[in-house]
Amino acid sequence: MITCGVILAGGQSSRMGTNKALLKINGKSVVSIIAEEMAACTDKQIISANDETYFTFLQLPIIQDRYIGEGPLAGMEATMHQTEADLFFFAACDMPFINHRIYQHLLRQLGDNEAIVPVYKSRLHPLAGVYRKNVLPKIQERLHTKQRKVTSFFPIYKLLTKQTF
């Protein structure tokens, strides 16, 4: 089973005014911190970004969206469409405190499900989840019908409570 860590860094950072993936914490860019965590739990890592010039320093493959301007779901679609892997571990570029142990915990809980995402304070965090490649057609269907919300293909979910990792 091949695992792929994907950092979703395709946003325009319009609200912040600067590329949030390049902000520094203790002298390291946020995207570098996330890439290190992904490397600790996946076989390969990829950056999903529409402007590759910002991320060449990471020396990781960079995949551009096929559905331009359609948000994180488009980044998920492009990386899954263009990458040979069975499981995809996603992280948004503004999640500097993500930890590889969270993904390992999610993977242990995945079972036969197509995807698993963390829930914190009863709120889904789909951009920090683990997804099987077989969700790709569902993502593509949502993009074709302009349903850009990542949670749009989660028909129901149950909250896992009192889980520790």
Binding site residue list:
8-10, 20, 65, 94
Query: With contact defined as beta carbons under 8 Å apart, do 46 and 63 qualify?
Result: yes
Residue 45, both tokens? 């890592």
Q: Which residues are annotated as a binding site for GTP?
A: 8-10, 20, 65, 94
The long-range contacts involving 55-63, CB below 8 angstroms and separated by at least 24 positions, are 55/9, 55/21, 55/31, 58/31, 58/32, 60/35
β-pair type (44-48, 115-116): unpaired
β-strand partners of 3: 87
- Reduced to 3 states (helix: H, G, I; strand: E, B; else coil), residue 48 is strand
